[in-house]
């Protein structure tokens, strides 16, 4: 499917331009036909040129590196095989004709927009999180044209988009979902946010695509466990300190040093 904008000059008229983009699993090559009809008689000598208008300049279709080997003449039009998103753009058909009145020129401009179904998005979901922290889930795919929008699901149920007047202002909603960017943000995650999450990408072309389900486990911060660990470490350090103090008091370190000095004096003698 292609949206077409056609500009007709005084000497050219354009037929409808049609395009077919098939699903990836079908073994049929997608192609686009850009057709340009003129009003000159068959006896008139014509010169037909197709150009692609880009931001960096105008290029001949048959010498364009992106279209070389894929574009071919079809009467006065062109057929582009193996169409991709990069083929989107503005094309111009130019016809010059020699007549008794002299050289006559005409042109028609067509904008070709290639629509591509989304691919499977990549989702990032943390496997675990602590209550009260900020957690962000992300979802993205880059092949769809137009760009995809994203919908997050929790335990198989679609999450509501949080807006100023939306239904997502209900109680216990701790997230903000951005359908354009694909992010799901928890400013203060809670244990109730524990669940299985997945994201679905769609752009109105073909079938929507979703990533695999991933579980996020949210747990409370174990304050008692942290206190116990700190106390245990403090006791161990205190025990070590007492041991060193006891050894010094008993003269263990001094005795060993004196014995070593006596051994050195005997060796010197």
The arithmetic mean of pLDDT across residues 139-158, rounded, is: 94
- The CATH code of the domain at 122-219 is 2.60.40.10
- pLDDT tens digits along 88-145: 888 888 888 877 677 777 888 888 888 888 999 999 999 999 999 999 999 999 988 8
- Find the helix or strand (DSSP H, E) in which 257 lies: helix 252-268
Distance CA 86, CA 64 (A): 12
Q: What is the mean pLDDT of the chain?
A: 75
Q: Closest Cα to residue 215, out of 126, 120, 152, 135?
A: 126
The domain ranges of the chain are: 4-112, 122-219, 232-268
The arithmetic mean of pLDDT across residues 58-65, rounded, is: 76
Question: Burial of 108 by CB count in 10 Å (0-12 exposed, 13-18 middle, 19+ buried)?
Answer: buried
Name the pTM for this structure.
0.62
**For helices 223-250 and 252-268, angle between their N-to-C axes, nearest 10 degrees:** 40
Does 4-112 match 122-219 in CATH topology?
Answer: yes
- pLDDT tens digits along 176-213: 999 999 999 999 999 999 999 999 999 988 899 999 99
> What per-residue confidence (pLDDT) applies to 192?
92
Which backbone phi and psi does 5 adopt, to 5 degrees?
-115, 120
122-124/102-112 β-pairing: unpaired
Please give the CATH topology (third level) of the domain spanning 4-112.
Answer: Immunoglobulin-like (2.60.40)
């Amino acid at each position: 499917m292609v949206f077409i904008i056609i500009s007709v000059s005084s000497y050219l008229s354009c037929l409808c331009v049609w395009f077919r983009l098939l699903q990836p699993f079908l073994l049929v090559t997608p192609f686009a036909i850009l057709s340009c009809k003129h009003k000159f008689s068959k006896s008139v000598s014509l010169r037909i040129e197709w150009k692609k208008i880009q931001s960096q300049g105008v290029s001949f279709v048959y010498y364009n590196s992106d279209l070389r080997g894929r574009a071919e003449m079809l009467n006065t039009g062109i057929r582009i095989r193996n169409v991709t998103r990069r083929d989107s753009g503005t094309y111009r058909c130019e016809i010059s004709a020699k007549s008794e009145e002299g050289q006559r020129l005409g042109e028609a401009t067509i904008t070709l927009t290639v629509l591509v179904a989304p691919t499977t998005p990549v989702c990032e979901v943390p496997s675990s999180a602590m209550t009260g922290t900020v957690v962000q889930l992300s979802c993205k795919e880059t092949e769809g044209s137009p760009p995809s929008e994203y919908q997050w699901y929790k335990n198989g149920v679609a999450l509501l988009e949080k807006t100023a007047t939306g239904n997502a202002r209900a109680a216990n909603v701790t997230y903000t979902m951005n359908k354009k960017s694909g992010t799901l943000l928890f400013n203060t995650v809670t244990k109730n946010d524990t669940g299985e999450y997945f994201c679905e990408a769609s752009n109105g072309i073909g079938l929507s695509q979703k990533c695999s389900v991933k579980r996020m486990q949210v747990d409370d911060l174990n304050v008692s466990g942290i206190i116990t660990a700190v106390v245990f470490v403090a006791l161990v350090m205190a025990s070590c300190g007492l041991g060193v103090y006891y050894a010094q008091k008993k003269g263990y370190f001094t005795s060993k040093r004196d014995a070593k000095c006596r051994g050195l004096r005997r060796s010197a003698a």
